[in-house]
Every structure is written in structure tokens, then in C-alpha cells.
Chain A
Amino acid sequence: MPARTKISLSIVLLASLLIGLSCGEALAQSRTKIRYALGDVISVDDLPLLIAVERAKARGVDVEITAFKSEEIATQAVINGQADVGQGTPYAALQKVSIPIRFFYQLFALQFFPIVNKEFYKSWKDLDGQEVVVHARGSGTEAILNLIAKEQGIKYKHMSYVPGSEVRALGLLKGNIKATILDSTNKNYVMKEAPDKFLILPLGQVKASDEALFATREFLEKNQAAIAVFLEELIKITRAINANPNNVLDERKKLGLLKDLPAKLEDEVLPFYQEAVKNGIFPNDGGGERAAKNDLEFFLLSGQLKGENLKVEDFWHLAPLKAALAKVGN
């Protein structure tokens, strides 16, 4: 090969290498990372989130989920800037800390089931003057039972605190607890273990958020494009699940999510989503102002929020959701 050809070839190769490197760097720079703080272990009810995360990744937004021990720790991670987006309903923290943190999307509404031992109680009226067990002081479960007591005109004798639906479910089965409130998975477990022993009392309308997304206003304003992609994907998968709960199974299989789920929980995935869709806990529109108003009313009653004439704009930043809805359609 002549020397000139060799030199030309080397220059072409070098140029290609440089172009390749700069393109790769540009591609890496165009990706955005969102550090996501989850206040619980990743489980079946997080599948819509996991699906949205995978789809956002394909669109250049990397949502990096860290599972913390509790919602309080996830909230502290956002307050202290170690996480960008948190999941939960820390309304009290939002009201009390000086940093402007705002909710911007409702993942799903509360879905709890008041459950009693049939041998002792048959209706809400029977719980007048009786002991009930809830998750913790100031928790959503306490607020739900207080709300119902107010509606039914009854007064509990005493409220005991046992954290964890699974612990309360075991307490019911062992006979230590006679009236409590459980999440969907544990309610199904209890009813399966002892179908004739327990009764689920009617809950009425409780529409507050169970899990919502929050971030500092500064982050939301600086990362509008990335948040828009993430919210669009969340809305799309939520609508798909609401249209047909089987979609969650198809997407889980396609994306290879929660591969290490124990076999006995496999069968619980579809019933969980069928029941959740039936109860309307997944909002097609990300909650928005309606969810915000419901939350303010509920968390004021629970004691998490204090004060009068609370304003939606002091707790929610609706612009990112409006932008995402404009893209995917209302």
C-alpha cells in the first residue's frame, strides 16, 4: 500500500474515532438521571412505576430507584438533596420545612379494608366503645377509621398501634386483634386463610393519595423535559392498566420485571390489579387538582396538616402534569 494511501486511511480512521467518541459523549450528555427515593421495598404494587421507568429509559431518562426503609427516610433524602423525586404523602413535612417541595403526580389513591372478627362484630355500630388497631399515630389508617367513626356517629374505646399490615393480619388470624384495617394483599391473605371468620366493613368514599410523587420546585423547573417524559410514561401505563389489568402482566413479562417474585405472590398480581382498577385507585389523569383537594381535606383530618384555608398551590405544582397531559391527551 503506497505511503500516501496509508496516511489518508489513518486520517479517516482517526476522524471516525473522534466523531464516534464525541457522538457517544453527546448521547451520554443528552441522557438525564432522576434519583428516585421509594420509602418501601419494591413490590407488586410498584409495577406501573417500574414499567414507566423502563419506558422512560428507552426515551433517554434514567430513573434510578433507591428503596429506603420508610417514607420518612425517603422524604429526608429529598429534603437534603440526595434524591430528586420522592414517593409518599409527607404533607406535614412539606408544610413545615423551609424548602419549597411540591407534589406533582398521584400514583394511586388509598385502598384499605376495615376488617373485623365476625364472632365479636358485625357492623360499624358494634365498634362503638371497642378497641381498634391501626398502623401508627398520625397515619392514614388512623385517619380513615376516625373519618368513618365521625360518619357513623361512633367512638372507639381505644386505638392501638401495630405497624405493618402483615403484622396486623397475623394478629387477626391468631386472635390477638379483633378489628383493624389492612391493605389489599393482606386482606386477601386473611380472607383466604380463614374465609368464614372475618368480615370486611364498607368503607365509603376515601379518595386521598396513598402514594404521590414529590420533588423540590427548583428540580421540577430545571428538569421539565425529563419529568415530562417520566410523567407521560406513567400516565400511559396507568391508562393501559385501567383499560385492561392484564396489561400489567404482559408488560412485566416483556420487560422482565420483578423476576425474583416468590411463586405464591405470582398468582396475586392480577387479582390485585383487577381489584385496584375496580376501586378506581389509579387515576387516568395523574390526580392533579382534584387529588390535591381530596388530600388537603383528608390529611387535615388526620392531623398531618394544620391550619385553615390551605391552598393547593402551596402543596402541589401542577404545571408538569398539565404539560404531560397536553402531550398524551386529557
Chain B
Amino acid sequence: MPRGSRIARRRIVWQLISFALVFGCWEVAGRWPISAAFPPFSQTLLAMLRMIADGSLPNAYLSTVQPLVIGVVLCGIAGIGFGVGMGLSRAVEWFTLPIFIILQAAPMAAIIPMITYVYGIGLTAKVLAVVFLAAPVIVMNSYKGIRNTNPSLIQMCRAFLGTRSQEVVKIILPHAAALVFTGLRLGLAMGFIGVVIAELLITPTGIGDLITYHGSVADYPEMFAAVASIILVAAVTIHGLERLERRLFPPEVRGS
């Protein structure tokens, strides 16, 4: 067996052991029980399968995905624009950077309910919650991607009498692309957090409704299943994007 595939097999075995250990501890903690309201892993898994079969989980995701997608797309367009602008222009940087640094440090769970005072309780408020969480990461990554362009490449471009637009289009943007993509991936991860906070704190819809409702009627396995499902969906999506990122921007491209 080639060395590469042996390493890959060992990695999968260790990963499976890691999952088995976590789920095993969960099962023991639920059966102990550490709390009368804490369901074991097996009951949670069964509840998740029931919720998939009766359609409540897929329907919830149809609702949750809307503000998430709109928010992340808006951040993708405007966020990258701001990030690139900040990276290329000192004026834009001085004007905008403090806002995104403050947003990055702000406790969002405290701020999101305040959105309702301005935008009410509809889709707009939830999209804004996603934007507030995702935008700083996307903007800051795009900005750092532009700023960290290898200076010798820029000097080379100038030495060959390249124009400013050629410098941006042919050197800076391709160089920053990997970090911009990383920003999008991390922004999506923050978007997941934003949409769930919004659905829990603004109005209970989608996955937030499933968590709230099953909690209020003490269906604890269903409640934990809803929480576990959003973690699973977010982790799988982010992992998928990470793999795509590695394929699009292999280390030799990143290091250029």
C-alpha cells in the first residue's frame, strides 16, 4: 500500500475514534444522567431521524437558509468591495477600518435584539444579524489579503512599467484571492451563528423555532437534535468550502 493512502487511512481511523469518544461520553452523560433534561446521544439521533422523516427539519432549513444566503451574498459583494477598497486606499482604510474592528469586538448577542428597534422583526432584521457577524471577517480578510501582497511582485510589475490598474488586476487581486476566499468561508461560519442567534432572539422561525418550540414543550431529544443538526450542517458546509479552497488555492499558489 502506498505511504500516502496508509496515512489517509490512519487519519480516518483516528477521526472516527474521536467521534466515537465524544458520542460515547454524550451517551453515558445522558444515561447517568447529568441532568433529567439531558437526553443521551442515541435518543437525540433517533429524534433527528424522526424530524427528517416528518419533514419538520428540512422545512426549518428552507426558512433558515433564506436570511443566511442573502446576508452572506450581500457581505460577499459589499464586504470584499470594502476590504479591497481599504487595502488599496489609505483614505478608505482610515474611514472604514475602525467600524469593522469595533464590529468584530462587539458582543453580537447583545446587539442583535436591538436591530428589532429599527428594523422590526421581519426578514430584514435577520439578514442584518447575519451581516453584522459575517461582514467584519470578510472585510478584514480581504483587506489583509490586499495589504499582504508580496512587495517584490509589485516592484517587478513597476519595473516592467505596469500601470496601477495592471498592478491591481494582475498582481494584487490574484495574490489576495486565497485570503478573500478564506474570509468568505469564515464569514459563512459567522453567518450560521448570526442566523441562529437571530432566530432565537428576534422571532422564532426555521431552526430557531424548532429549538424554542421543543424546549418549551420539554421535547429535549428533539431540541438537542435541532441544535446538533445546525452544528452538523455548518461543519459540513465549512469543511466542504475548505476543501474547495485547498483545491482552488494550493499551497504553491498561496505562497506566490
| B96 interfacial contact with A, CB 8 Å | no
- Chain B contacts with A in 32-80, Cβ cutoff 8 A: 33, 35-37
Q: Are the CB atoms of B121 and A136 closer together than 8 Å?
A: no
- Give 5 pairs: A residue, B residue, CB < 8 Å, sorted on A: A137-B213, A162-B203, A167-B121, A171-B120, A304-B217
From B35, B121, B203, B213, contact of A138 by CB (8 A) = B213
From A72, A97, A304, contact of B36 by CB (8 A) = A97
Nearest A residue to B216 by beta-carbon distance?
A138
We find that the number of chain B residues with CB closer than 8 angstroms to chain A is 19
- Chain B contacts with A in 18-32, Cβ cutoff 8 A: none
Q: Is the interface of B mostly helix, strand, loop or mixed?
A: loop
From B36, B37, B212, B219, contact of A136 by CB (8 A) = B212
Q: Are the CB atoms of A95 and B35 closer together than 8 Å?
A: no
From B36, B205, B213, B218, contact of A99 by CB (8 A) = B36
| Given known contacts A161-B209, A176-B120, A96 and B220 CB-to-CB distance under 8 angstroms | yes
CA distance A171 to B116 in the complex (A): 11
Question: Interface readout for A77-100 with B: 1 if CB under 8 Å, 0 if not?
Answer: 001100000000010110111110
Please indicate the chain A residues that have their CB under 8 angstroms from the CB of B205 in the complex. 161
Q: How many A residues are at the interface, by size bracket?
A: 20 to 34
Please indicate the chain A residues that have their CB under 8 angstroms from the CB of B204 in the complex. 136-137, 161, 163
| Given known contacts A76-B37, A97-B37, A137-B204, A162 and B216 CB-to-CB distance under 8 angstroms | no
Question: Interface readout for B129-155 with A: 1 if CB under 8 Å, 0 if not?
Answer: 000000000000000000000000000
* Interface residues of A, Cβ cutoff 8 Å to B: 72, 76, 79-80, 90, 92-93, 95-99, 136-139, 161-163, 167, 171, 174, 176, 303-304
| B215 interfacial contact with A, CB 8 Å | yes
- The smallest beta-carbon distance between B225 and chain A, in angstroms, is 15
Nearest A residue to B117 by beta-carbon distance?
A170
Q: Are the CB atoms of B218 and A137 closer together than 8 Å?
A: no
Closest 9 CB pairs of A and B: A93-B218, A92-B218, A97-B36, A92-B217, A137-B213, A96-B218, A99-B36, A138-B217, A138-B216
- The smallest beta-carbon distance between B129 and chain A, in angstroms, is 16
- The smallest beta-carbon distance between B116 and chain A, in angstroms, is 7
CA distance A72 to B215 in the complex (A): 7
From B35, B36, B37, B203, contact of A163 by CB (8 A) = B203
Please indicate the chain A residues that have their CB under 8 angstroms from the CB of B216 in the complex. 72, 92, 136-139, 304
- Chain B contacts with A in 203-239, Cβ cutoff 8 A: 203-205, 209, 212-213, 215-220
| Given known contacts A97-B37, A176-B120, A136 and B220 CB-to-CB distance under 8 angstroms | no
Please indicate the chain B residues that have their CB under 8 angstroms from the CB of A162 in the complex. 121, 203
